[in-house]
Chain A
C-alpha cells in the first residue's frame, strides 16, 4: 500500500542565524546586505514537497526500502526498528537558482548570500514537512542520498518513485545533481 501526495507550503519563517552560518559568519554576526537580499528572495521562493510512504524490510543483501534496495549500513542504523518510511523531495523552485546565477555575474557577495538563503529555505521546508508528518507518527531524523554510505545514485530511484519530473518538474543530471539545485530528497522512518 502506498500513500503519496504533493503539497505547497505558505511562506515559512526565516532563520537569519542559520543563513549567516551558511554564509560563513560566526554566531552572532549577521551578513551585511542580508535584509535587502531576503526582500528580493521573498518573491522567488516556492515551497513544494512530493512524498510517498513505503514499507521497509531488512533482507540478506541489505534494506528493501519499497522503492529500491540498498546495502547502506548507515541508513540501516538510522532506520533500525522502523517498519515504514516516508520518502520526500522538497524544493524551493527555480527562482532561487535564477537569483544566484544573476548575482554570480553581478555581485559575488550577493550571490554567496543568495546561495546561503536558498540552503536555509530548503532545509526549513524539510523541517516543516517532517514536523507536520511527525504529528501522526514518531518520525526519525531524515536521511538523504549522499550521506554516509548511501550513494548519490539512489537519486535515480527517488526520481522514479515520486516521480519527480512529473510531480515537481525537477530534472536529474548525469552527474546526479538535481535542478533546481535548492532541492533536498530524504528518507525518514518510523
Chain B
C-alpha cells in the first residue's frame, strides 16, 4: 500500500505532544527544541519510541520550527536528517509512517505582515525537499493560524517534493483562524490545493473543537484529522497541567470518531497514555467511509461562495473593455479609483469580483497580481482573475490567498493545456467557454459537445465536474434573433446532462439594442429559470439586481419576501431622494461640501456644477479656496486632523468627478514630488496623509510606499524629475536609514529638496541628518511644497502656468 492509500485506508493513529515531553526532559525556556535532534538524539528517539510503543501509525519529526527564518542555512540539512533518523530508529522494523512536521514559519505574510508570499513558499519548499531527501513518508503541516501561510506551505511542499501533504490548522476561541478564515473557507482553499488529509490541532480540547470538526466532516472529501490538546491548561504547584485525563480525553474523542474523523492524535498536554487510550478506543470502532462531496466553491482568504445555492453574482466592472476611465486608471495605476470600483460592487451585492487588466499599454503579468493583492485588502469577496495570458494568470493565482474563480479556459488544446495545470496546482474553479478551434458552435447541441470535450480533457488533468463552471456564451440577439434561445437551451442541457454549473456574461445578449438593461434583465430571468448558476454582470444596474430579487421572490427562494421588501424600500427611498427636496446635510456648493468634509455630497455637487462651469474653474473657485480655509483652520487649531482628512477626501471625490468629466485631457502636470517611508519602517499613515493633501493642492505625487531602500528613492527622484522628496520615519531605529537616504539623494540628485517628518523627529534632528525642511504636520509640508513651486515659477518667469 502506498502512503497516499494508507492515509485513506481507515483509521490512522497519530502521536501526542513533543514540546511538553522535551520540557519535562529539561529543555530550557527559549531553547530551540529542534536543536535537540543533534544535541540530545537519545531523548528525541525515546519520545518517539513511547508513541510507537503506544500504537501510533504515524509519528511526526521534531522539526516544528525548523526553517531558514530561524536557523542558519548550513545547519538545516543536518537537523532535518537527524530528526528523521531519530524517528526511524524509534520505529525500528515496525510499520509506522514518518511525517516531516512543519509549523508556522514565524513571519506574518503581507499585507498584515512584511514578508512576501514568494519568500515564504521558498522557505517551506526547502524544508520539504530536505525532508524527502532524509526519507520522510509525508509532509505534515500543522498549527497554521493563517490561511495564506498554510496555502504557501502546501505550494512550497508540493514544489519541494512529491510526498503526500496533510494540513492541520489551529483555531481561536471564536472558531476562526487568527487572520479571520472560517472552517468552511479553510476546507475550500486547502482541498483545492489537493491536500491528502486536513483537520485541526492544538487550540482546545476535543469538545471545544467539535463544531469545527463537524464542519470539516460535512464539507471535506478527504480524510479529516483531529489532534486536540488535553483540555485547557492550568497551573498546579508551579507546573502547567491540562484538565483532561487520558480516559476523559478518549471519551471526548469518541463522538468525533463516530462522526467520521479518521486521523487521530493529541497535541499539547498529551503523552503516550493518551495515544494508548486512543488505540484501545479505535479497536472497537469502524471508520465511516469517505464520501465525495462534489462541492463547487470558491473562496477569498476569509469567505466562501458555493455554486448551487442561488445565482452567484460576479461583478464585471473591473474590466477595461469599453470603459475609458477604467483604462486610464489601469495605465496610471490609479489604485484609489480601481479599489473604489471593487468596493462599490461589493456594497451593491456582488458575491465575486472579476479582475481584468487587459490593455496593450499594461504589463498584465505585473499588474494583475498586484491588483489582486490590493483588492484583497479592501474586500472579503472571492476574486475572479480574468486573463487569457497564462503567465499573468499563474502570477495572480500563486499570490491569491484563497481559491479563485479562473476566467477562463476554452475548448482549444492550447487553452486547456495552459489553464488546467494552473487550476490543479493552485486550486480554483474554471469558467469554461464552450468554443474551440472551430469557433462558437451555432447550436445548443454543438456547445454541449464542446462542454463534453472540455470535461473529458479536464479529467486527464485530475480535475472533475466540481472544478468547472461552463459558460455557453450569450450572443447578441440583434445579430441573430435565435441566439438567446440557443444559449438558454445550452444552459439547461449542461445542467441536466453534465450535472455541471453554468455562468453567462449576460449583457452580451442586448448588444446593439437601445435601452439595453431591460433586455439584459429579462434574459437574465429566463436564464435563471433555465438553471443558470452564476452571471457576470453589473451589480450597479438596478434592473439587473431587481431581476434577481424578483426571481427569488417568485420561486420561493426569498423566505417571507424579506430581501425583496428590504430592497423595495431602498428603491423607493432613492427615488424620493433624487426627485424630492434637498436633504438637509448643510451644503449647497462644492466649496461648502469640501469644507465640511462631505465626500458624497462634494462629488454630487461637483457633478452638477460641471454642467455650468469647466473643471479648472471649479478647482480654482471652489476646491482650492475650501482647502485653503480648512488648512488655515488646522494651522490655527480651530480644526483638527480628522476634519482636515475628511475635507481632503471630499476634495479628492470632487477632483475625481472633474477627471471623469474630461477623461481624455491629461491632467495639468503639477510639480513632481516623491514620497516614501524609509527602509525598515512600515508606518505609512502619516505619509499617506501628506500624499492626499499634496495631491489636493495640485502636486503630482509618486508614492513609493513603505520600507523603501535609498536607491529606489534616488531612482524615482531622477525618473520623475522631482523638485521635492518627502521622507517619513516613525521609529528611532529607522532614522539612520533616513540619513542614509538623504546622503544618497545629495550625491545623486543634488538639486532636489528634502522634507522629512515623523514622530521621532524634530527640527534640530532633521537639520542634523541633512534635511532641508522638517514638517511638523501634513499642512506644513504642503506649505513648504507651495513655496518651492512659487520659487520655481518665479525663476521660470511664470511659464509653467
Q: Which residues of A pack against B, CB within 8 Å?
A: 1-6, 8, 23-26, 29, 31-33, 46, 48, 67, 93-95, 97-98, 100-102, 104-109, 111-113, 115, 152, 157, 160-161, 165-166, 169, 171-173, 175-177, 179-180
Contact = CB atoms under 8 A, between A and B. Distances in A.
A152 B240 CA distance: 29
A108 B233 contact: no
A31 B106 contact: no
Interface in B167-223: 170, 172-174, 178-180
A179 B104 contact: no
A115 B183 CA distance: 29
Interface stretch (B249-257, B562-570, B679-687): B679-687
Nearest to A161: B29
A101 B377 contact: yes
B399 to A, nearest CB: 16
Given A24-B640, A108-B645, A171 B180 contact: no
27 contacts: A1-B238, A3-B238, A4-B235, A8-B173, A24-B642, A25-B640, A31-B643, A46-B172, A94-B178, A94-B180, A97-B112, A98-B180, A100-B685, A101-B112, A107-B599, A109-B648, A112-B642, A112-B645, A112-B685, A152-B733, A157-B30, A169-B145, A171-B113, A173-B113, A175-B682, A175-B731, A179-B113
Contacts of B685: 100, 104, 108, 111-112, 115
B646 interface: yes
B108 A179 contact: yes
A108 B649 contact: yes
Given A23-B642, A32-B643, A107-B599, 9 more contacts: A25-B641, A67-B29, A93-B178, A107-B649, A108-B649, A165-B104, A169-B146, A169-B170, A171-B104
A25 B240 CA distance: 46
Contacts of A175: 114, 680-682, 731, 733-734
Nearest to A6: B233
A33 B646 contact: yes
A155 to B, nearest CB: 12
A108 B681 contact: no
B646 A109 contact: yes
Interface of B: 29-30, 104, 106-108, 111-115, 143, 145-146, 170, 172-174, 178-180, 233-235, 238, 240, 335-336, 339-340, 343, 374, 377-378, 597, 599, 637, 640-643, 645-646, 648-649, 680-682, 684-685, 688-689, 692, 731, 733-734
Contacts of A102: 377-378
A106 B652 CA distance: 11
B688 A111 contact: yes
Nearest to A29: B640
Contacts of B643: 31-32
A109 B733 contact: no
Given A5-B233, A46-B174, A108-B648, A23 B641 contact: yes
Most A CB within 10 A of own CB, among B108, B688, B692: B108
A57 to B, nearest CB: 17
Contact of A105 (B108, B172, B374, B642): B374
Given A94-B112, A95-B180, A106 B339 contact: yes
A175 B680 CA distance: 6
A161 B733 contact: no
A88 B374 CA distance: 34
B525 to A, nearest CB: 34
B646 A32 contact: yes
Given A32-B643, A101-B377, A115-B685, A108 B179 contact: no
Contact of B692 (A2, A26, A31, A108): A108
A186 B494 CA distance: 62
Contacts of B114: 173, 175, 179
B688 A104 contact: yes
A86 to B, nearest CB: 13
A157 B107 CA distance: 17
Contacts of A3: 235, 238
B680 A105 contact: no
Contacts of B143: 166
A150 to B, nearest CB: 13
Nearest to B143: A166
B597 A32 contact: yes
A90 to B, nearest CB: 15
Contacts of A157: 30
A123 B774 CA distance: 30
Nearest to B235: A3
Contacts of A48: 172
B102 to A, nearest CB: 14
B642 A109 contact: yes
A39 B281 CA distance: 48
Nearest to B107: A171
A169 B104 CA distance: 9
A102 B380 CA distance: 10
Contacts of B235: 2-5
Contacts of A67: 29-30
Contact of A180 (B112, B234, B378, B689): B112
B642 A31 contact: yes
Nearest 8 CB-CB pairings of A with B: A24-B641, A109-B645, A31-B642, A1-B238, A160-B30, A179-B108, A169-B178, A171-B108
Nearest to A44: B180
A128 B340 CA distance: 39
A180 B29 CA distance: 24
Given A94-B179, A106-B343, A180-B112, A113 B648 contact: no
A3 B106 CA distance: 25
A175 B640 CA distance: 32
A105 B692 contact: no
A177 B682 contact: yes
A188 to B, nearest CB: 18
Given A24-B641, A46-B174, A160-B29, A2 B106 contact: no
B377 A105 contact: yes
A165 B640 contact: no
Contacts of B645: 108-109, 112
Contacts of B240: 4
Contacts of B180: 94-95, 98
A107 B112 CA distance: 18
A113 B685 CA distance: 11
Contacts of A25: 640-642
A108 B688 contact: yes
A120 B281 CA distance: 50
A102 B692 CA distance: 16
B107 A173 contact: yes
A161 B339 contact: no
A176 B146 CA distance: 20
Given A25-B642, A112-B642, A2 B238 contact: yes
A97 to B, nearest CB: 6
